[in-house]
Amino acid sequence: MGKGRLEAFSDGVLAIIITIMVLELKVPHGDDLGSLTKLLPVFISYVLSFIYIGIYWNNHHHMLHAAQHVNGNIMWANMHLLFWLSLVPFATGWMGENHFTTLPVAMYGMVLFMAGIAYFILARTLVKHHGSNSTLAQAFGTDQKGKWSVYIYAIAIVLAFVNPWISMALYTIVASIWFIPDRRIAKKMV
């Protein structure tokens, strides 16, 4: 089965997710600076989520580039990842609108945590389908970066109840370590 439509559908969903997030930036009625600065928390959470969706698109692109074929399980593992990512605009909007208070920040972490696990499942499903000696399998190896991200999200969710800004710092750190495209696959693919 071809991977073309899986990529096209995922691109479509990710393109829509990244773009409808901006709809949470509601056009203010006033035209003064105050109306604009009031939107700052929503804007900051938009920037963070834009980077996260960008990272997912980038890594998804790399991973499927290394894949040769897909099956039903891979399709559903991919759909599962898209489901959690589809909740990012909601989590982003809730966090931004409430100025980074505990529950919305923990919830944002929860969505990232589930998306991280879904990405891990998708990677495992792909590796299983291609065999443990495939380029894909060797490239993933033990997937340290993926595992650590999920651990850090879990810690960030708990720490949101201490101080949500610690969680925000952790989300930013994870985004930074993923910002660099997945060198493991990139290296193997050249």
The label of the residue with tokens 């291609």 reads: 130
Q: Is 145 in the site for a copy of itself (CB under 8 A)?
A: no
Q: Tell me the residue type at 71.
A: N
Q: Is 20 in the site for a copy of itself (CB under 8 A)?
A: yes
Output 136 or 151, the one with its CB closest to a copy of itself. Answer: 136
Q: Residue 72 CA to chain centroid, in angstroms?
A: 23
Output 76 or 151, the one with its CB closest to a copy of itself. Answer: 76
Among 37, 40, 83, 163, binds a copy of itself (CB under 8 A): 83
Q: Is 13 in the site for a copy of itself (CB under 8 A)?
A: yes
Encoding tokens for residue 170? 């952790």
Q: Is 158 in the site for a copy of itself (CB under 8 A)?
A: no
Q: Please state the closest distance from residue 9 (CB atom) to a copy of itself, in A.
A: 5
For residue 101, which of 43, 160, 171 has the smallest C-alpha distance?
A: 160
Among 93, 109, 116, 146, binds a copy of itself (CB under 8 A): 93
The residue range among 74-82, 130-138, 141-149, 169-177 that interacts with a copy of itself, by the rule CB under 8 A, is 74-82
Among 82, 115, 118, 170, binds a copy of itself (CB under 8 A): 82
Q: Using CA atoms, how far apart are residues 109 and 40, in angstroms rounded to an integer?
A: 20
Q: Using CA atoms, how far apart are residues 41 and 93, in angstroms rounded to an integer?
A: 10
For residue 128, which of 60, 72, 186 has the smallest C-alpha distance?
A: 72
For residue 178, which of 139, 158, 152, 142 has the smallest C-alpha distance?
A: 152
Q: Using CA atoms, how far apart are residues 47 and 32, in angstroms rounded to an integer?
A: 22
Cβ–Cβ under 8 Å, residues 153 and 186: no
Q: Is 104 in the site for a copy of itself (CB under 8 A)?
A: yes
Residues forming contacts to a copy of itself in the complex (CB under 8 A) are 1-2, 5, 7-9, 11-20, 22-25, 27-33, 36, 47, 50, 54, 57-58, 61, 65, 72, 75-76, 79, 82-83, 86-87, 89-90, 93-94, 97-98, 101-104, 107, 179-181, 186, 189
